[in-house]
């Protein structure tokens, strides 16, 4: 991979990256306004956590939007790719900050608990443990998608295989939603946050379904053009 190609992405993509960076800073600032006496780690945990969830949802809206308003939907849309990259960046910052905030170096206890016999571990099945393990699977998908989000892998994996792997984004959205809702319950988050999260999820699901039916109808028309 040519490293200079990473910088040579055109001013439009630079502009998108700058806007997404500003959105991330605004997210952290809003977290600061929400809890003015909390520290930077708190702002990064909540600010970047919510920005990541919103960007994952937004990346899933770009495809159906184009499908509903325009005819073609190419394998790779730069905007979708750049939003996905920032979902990856903010998601990773959230994970590092959340681990720094909640553990004193013993990361294992976020996900596992020691067996009664003292040898080995079991999965931590408390609500926080379930939420952390779901978050962990989401993070693995997020990092894989982040690594694949460049021209090198787009060419190497060919369009179809690349697109297949990008579909893990749907699973990622579901896992991020469950992780967020579980922590909202645990943290007694205000009903505004919870309602906003559910409305967002229902809207996303509805638009995805509409996109799915439109693309199925169009494909059926192409197969039998006389109908
Ligand atoms: C190993 C992976 C992860 C771990 C260990 C983790 C850990 C945490 C923790 C500990 C909290 C609550 C902080 C507190 O109440 O003190 C939290 C909240 C949150 N996480 Fe994660 N997280 C992970 C992955 C993710 C991912 C991938 C996303 C989004 C894409 C995400 C989004 C959120 C959001 C939005 C909240 C705030 C929920 C609320 O309002 O209480 N997390 N996470």
Ligand 1, pocket-test mutation among 60, 183, 189, most atoms within 8 A of CB: 183
pLDDT confidence of residue 131:
97
Q: Which residues line ligand 1 (CB under 6 A)?
A: 45-46, 49-50, 52-53, 56, 91, 94-95, 98-99, 101-102, 110, 132, 135-136, 138-139, 142, 176, 179-180, 183-184, 187, 189, 193
CA of 205 to the centre of ligand 1 (A): 22
* Cα separation of the two ends of the chain: 48
Which residues lie below 8 Å from residue 206, measured CB to CB, with a gap of 6+?
Answer: none
pLDDT confidence of residue 27:
98
Q: Can you give the pLDDT of all 227 residues of the chain as single tens digits?
A: 555 556 677 888 899 999 999 999 999 999 999 999 999 999 999 999 999 999 999 999 888 887 777 656 665 678 889 999 999 999 999 999 999 999 877 899 999 999 888 788 999 999 999 999 999 999 999 999 999 888 888 888 877 888 888 889 999 999 999 999 999 999 999 898 899 999 999 999 999 898 888 888 877 877 776 55
Do 77 and 62 form a contact (C-beta atoms < 8 A)? yes
Helix axes 158-166, 168-186, angle to 10 degrees: 20
* Alpha-carbon Rg for the chain in angstroms: 20
Nearest CA, atom 32, ligand 1: 49
pLDDT confidence of residue 65:
83
Dist CA 10 CA 16 (whole Å): 10
Dist CA 75 CA 80 (whole Å): 10
pLDDT confidence of residue 169:
93
The pTM for the full model equals 0.90
Tokens of 179: 């992780």
pLDDT confidence of residue 226:
57
pLDDT confidence of residue 140:
97
pLDDT confidence of residue 74:
63
DSSP-derived secondary structure letter, 109: G
Ligand 1, pocket-test mutation among 35, 49, 57, 99, most atoms within 8 A of CB: 49
Tokens of 27: 């997210």
Torsion region of 39: left, alpha or beta (phi above 0 gives left; psi -120 to 50 gives alpha): beta
Which residues lie below 8 Å from residue 54, measured CB to CB, with a gap of 6+?
Answer: 27, 200
């Amino acid at each position: 991979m040519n490293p200079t190609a990473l910088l040579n992405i055109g001013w439009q993509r630079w502009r998108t990256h700058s806007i997404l960076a500003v959105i991330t800073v605004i997210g952290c600032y809003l977290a600061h306004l929400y809890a003015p006496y909390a520290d930077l780690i708190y702002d990064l945990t909540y600010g970047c956590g919510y920005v990541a969830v919103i960007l994952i949802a937004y990346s899933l809206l770009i495809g159906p939007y184009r499908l509903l308003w325009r005819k073609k939907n190419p394998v790779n849309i730069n905007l979708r790719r750049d939003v996905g990259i920032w979902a990856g960046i903010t998601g990773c910052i959230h994970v590092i900050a959340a681990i720094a905030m909640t553990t004193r170096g013993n990361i294992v206890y976020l996900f596992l608990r020691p067996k009664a016999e003292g040898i080995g571990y079991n999965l931590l099945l408390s609500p926080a443990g379930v939420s952390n393990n779901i978050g962990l699977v989401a993070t693995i998908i997020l990092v894989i998608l982040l690594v694949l989000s460049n021209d090198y892998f787009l060419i190497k994996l060919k369009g179809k295989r690349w697109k297949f792997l990008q579909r893990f984004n749907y699973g990622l959205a579901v896992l991020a939603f469950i992780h967020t809702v579980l922590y909202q319950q645990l943290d007694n988050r205000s009903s505004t946050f919870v309602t906003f999260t559910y409305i967002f999820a229902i809207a996303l699901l509805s638009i995805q379904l509409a996109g799915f039916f439109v693309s199925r109808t169009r494909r059926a028309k192409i197969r039998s053009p006389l109908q």
